[in-house]
Amino acid sequence: MGDRPSVSVAIVGSGGAGTLTAGSLLLEAAAEAGWQGLLTRTVGPQIRGGEAAALVRLATHTVECQPDQFDLLIGIDWLNAHRFGAEIEVGPQSFVISDPRGGDLPPNVAAAGARIVEMPFKNMAKAIPEGRANMIALGLACRLLGLGVDVVSTLIEKRLADKGQAAIGASLAGIKAGYDAASNLDFGLRLAAPKSKSTRRWLISGNEAAALGAVRGGVRFAAAYPITPATEILEWLAPNLSKMGGVLLQAEDELAAINMIIGASFGGTPALTATSGPGLALMIEALGLATAAEIPVVVIDVMRGGPSTGIPTKSEQADLNIAIYGFHGDAPHLVLAPQSVGDCLFTTQWATYLAEAQQTPSIVLSDQFIGQTRAAIARPADVAFIGQRLKVTNIADAYNRYALVANSISPMAIPGTRGGQYTADGLTHTEQGTPTSSASDHQIQLSKRCDKIENFNYGDHWATIEGAGDFAVITWGSLTGAVREAISRAAQDGVEASLLAPRLLSPTQPKRFAAALAGKKRILIVEQSHSAQFHRYLRAHYDLPDNVQVLNRPGPLPIRAGEIHRAIMEWRS
C-alpha cells in the first residue's frame, strides 16, 4: 500500500491515563521529523480523571481542520467515551485498537464497520515498572504511522527531564513496548515522507500565535480575567510581556480588565485583553467608552459555545452579533476574525495596528477550535504592521483633542505632553472634548468616528478570496480551512467553487464585497451558529445573488470538510 499524504489518529482514555500527553507528544515528534499537522483535544466535564481524547492529524502539507473520519482510533479505555459521540467518527476504512478490558466501545464506533484489533494496554502497562498505557499507545501510533522511535524518545527525555530517570525510563519502555506490539500490524497508515525540512516551521497554538501577534503589533500592557478558552493567551503574555518591558495584570473581573487597558492606552501604551463570550458581554459598556473617547484597545474573544455559560470547552461562531452590534448607541468599531492557527498571529498584529492607527477598539473573534489547536505550520511571514498612533507633541495653540481633520483621525495628546491637557470623556463632546448635548456636535462626532473607520485603506487583507467560477462558498474564521478542503475535493470531482472569507467583519466593505461576488450565481454560506448570524450579517450589509444556501449548525461539533463538500455537490446539481 502506498504511503499516505495525511493520516489521522484519535487516542481516547480516562482517569489520568495521560491521553492528551500522548497526543501532544505524537504531534511534536511528527513535527520535529518534518511533518505538518494539528492536535485538538476534547474532554469530559471533570477537572481531573475525566474522559479525554487527543485528535491528531498529520500530513505532508498544510492541514487546517480535522478529518471527517479518523483513520486510527486507539482506545486506552472507553469509559464515558460515548460522550464524545460524533466528534470522533470512524468508518469501514478505519482501524480501532481496543483494550478488551477497557469497557464497551462507544455505540457509533461499534456500528461503524471499522476493523477492530485488540491490544491489552492495561496488562502491558502493568508489565513495566511504573509503566503507563498512554506511552504504549504512543509507541503503537508512531510505528503504524512510520515515525522513528528515536524522535519521540528524545522528546520524552526533554519533557520529563525534571521528573527523574525512573520516569523517563518507564516512559521509554512503554513506547518501546507499543512500538514492538505494532510490528505485526500493517494498516497501510504510513505517512509519506515529509517535504524538505528547510522550510522554517513552528509548533504553536492559535492562542499563543495571537499573543505573539499582539506583542509584535506593539502591545505592552495587558489586563485580564481568566476564562476558558482564552487563558493560554494570558499565560503566554505574562512572562513574555515582561521580557519586553511591559506588564500583565490579573484583574478582579472583566469589568476591571477592560477599564484597566483603557487606562493604560489613554496613557499611551498599546493595550490588550483576552476573554470569551461571557467576558466580552461584561466589557461592552467600557468598549463603548473607548469608542466614544477614541481610545485604542484590542480585545481578543476566543469564542465558545453560548449563550450564557454555554459549553465553555467547545467552539462556536455565535459572538458575531455582540461583537458588531452589541454596543449601545451608534459606536462603530473594528471587528476582525483570524482564519487559522497561523493567521491568529497576523490578524491580531493587524488588529493592534488598526486600533492604534484609528484610535478605536478592535475585537478579534478567534474561537476555541483555532485558539486551543496546536499545529505544526510553516513559520508565518513577518509583517510590518506595528501600532503607531498619531500623537501631538509640540502644542503651540489651544489643543482640540477631537479636532475635525481630513481623515477624521485627530492627533492624541499623551499625558505628560505640556499644553495637551484634556479630559477624555464618554459624554458626547465638542472638538475640545467638553461635554455637550448640542445636535450639531453630536452629529459631527458620530460622523467623524464613522468616517474614520470606513474611509481607512485596509488593503487586500480584508478578506481571503480564492478561486473562480460562478459558485462561491462564503465563510469566516476557523471554518475557512474546512471550506478550503471541501472546495479542493469538489475540484477533484470536477466542480469549481471559489472561497470568500472576510477577515475584516466591521466596518463592512460594500464595494469590494460586490466586486468579489461579481458573476457569482450561487452562494453557499457555511457557519457554526444556530441562528445563522453570519448569513444575517451578509444579508444586512451586502447584496447577494438570488440563489443562496446556508449550511449552519451550532457547536459543539465541528462542521466537517466532508459535509461542506457534500453540500457543494448537492447545491451544484
Partner 1 sequence: MSIVDMRVAGKPGDYKSNIKPIWCPGCGDYHVLMSFTRAFAELGLPPEQIVVVSGIGCSSRIPAYTNCYGFHGVHGRSLAVAAGLKLSRPDLTVVVASGDGDGYSIGGNHFLHACRRNIDMTYVVMDNRVYGMTKGQPSPTTEPDFDTALSPGGTGLRPFHPLVIALASGANFIARCFSGEPNETASVLVEAIKHPGFSFVEILSPCVTFRPDEVEWKSRVHPAPVAPTNDPGKAARRIMTDDGFNIGILYRGDRKPYQPAIGQPSVDPAELEKEFEL
Binding-site ranges for partner 1 (CB under 8 A): 31-32, 200-204, 208, 212, 215-216, 220-221, 223, 240, 242-247, 249, 251-253, 255-269, 271, 285-286, 289, 376, 379, 413, 415-427, 433-435
Q: How far is the CB of 428 from partner 1 (least distance, A)?
A: 12
Q: Give the nearest distance from C-beta 379 to partner 1 in angstroms.
A: 8
Shortest spacing between CB 258 and partner 1, in angstroms: 8
Host H or E run for residue 527: strand 522-527
Q: Where are the beta strands (DSSP E) in 26-142?
A: 36-43, 52-59, 72-75, 95-98, 115-118
Q: Which residues contact 377 (CB under 8 A, 6 or more apart)?
A: 36, 62, 201, 202, 204, 340, 341, 342
Nearer to partner 1, 72 or 204 (CB): 204
Which residue's CB is nearer to partner 1, number 251 or number 473?
A: 251
Whether the bond into 270 is cis, omega within 30 of 0? no
State the CB neighbour count (10 A cutoff) for residue 395.
14
| Spatial distance between the Cα atoms of 451 and 284, rounded to a whole number of angstroms | 22
Q: How many CB atoms lie within 10 A of CB 126?
A: 11
Q: Is 568 helix (H, G, I), strand (E, B) or coil?
A: helix
Least distance (Å) from partner 1 to the CB of residue 240? 6
Report the alpha-carbon distance of residue 214 to residue 272 in Å, rounded.
8
Longest dimension (CA), the chain: 85
CA distances 53 to 256, 562, 564, Å, are 36, 21, 24
Min separation Cβ 333 and partner 1, Å: 16
Residue 311 per-residue DSSP state: B
| 77, 318, 366 from 276: Cα distances, Å | 32, 11, 9
Residue 312 CB, nearest approach to partner 1 (Å)? 23
The Cα angle at residue 205 between residues 200 and 207, in degrees rounded to 5: 125
- Is the CB of 38 or the CB of 486 nearer to partner 1? 38
C-alpha cell at 106: 462507544
Least Å distance between CB 221 and partner 1? 5
Among 240, 233, 242, 237, CA closest to 279: 233
For partner 1, give the closer residue by CB, 57 or 220: 220
Nearer to partner 1, 422 or 458 (CB): 422
Dist. CA 139–CA 97, nearest whole Å: 13
Q: Measured from the CB atom, is 327 or 513 closer to partner 1?
A: 327
Q: How far apart are CA 349 and CA 390, in angstroms?
A: 18
What is the spatial order of strands in the sheet that 522-527 belongs to?
463-466, 498-502, 471-474, 522-527, 547-552
The three-state DSSP-derived secondary structure of 187-202 is CCCCECCCCCCCCCEE
Q: Which is nearer to partner 1, 33 or 175 (CB)?
A: 33
Closest separation between CB of residue 278 and partner 1, Å? Answer: 17
Q: Of 280, 255, 269, 258, nearest to 221 (Cα)?
A: 269
Nearer to partner 1, 266 or 346 (CB): 266
Judged by CB, which is closer to partner 1: 202, or 542?
202
Q: How far is the CB of 71 from partner 1 (least distance, A)?
A: 23
Record the cell numbers describing residue 136, joined without a space. 504504549
**Smallest separation (angstroms) from partner 1 to the CB of 181:** 28
CA distances from 487 to 231, 498, 525 (A): 34, 7, 13
CB of 194 to partner 1, least distance (A): 11
Q: Is 310 or 342 the residue whose CB approaches partner 1 more closely?
A: 342
Looking at the DSSP assignment, which residues form a beta bridge with residue 221? Answer: 247, 271
Q: How far is the CB of 417 from partner 1 (least distance, A)?
A: 6
Q: Could you tell me the smallest distance in angstroms from the CB atom of residue 273 to partner 1?
A: 10
Pairing of strands 504-506, 334-336: antiparallel
Residue 511, all three cell numbers: 464595494
Residue 187, C-alpha cell as written in the block: 494498516
Q: Measured from the CB atom, is 22 or 31 closer to partner 1?
A: 31
Q: Under a CB-based contact definition with an 8 Å cutoff, are residues 290 and 296 in contact?
A: yes
Give the nearer residue to partner 1 in terms of CB position, either 211 or 409. Answer: 211
Residue type, 127: A
Closest to partner 1 by CB, 248 vs 479, is 248
- The CA distances from residue 117 to 183, 337, 573, in Å, are 13, 43, 41
CA distance 453 to 469: 32
Min CB(205)–partner 1 separation in Å: 9
Say how far apart CA 500 and CA 522 lie, in whole Å: 13
Closest CB to partner 1 among 22 and 345? 345
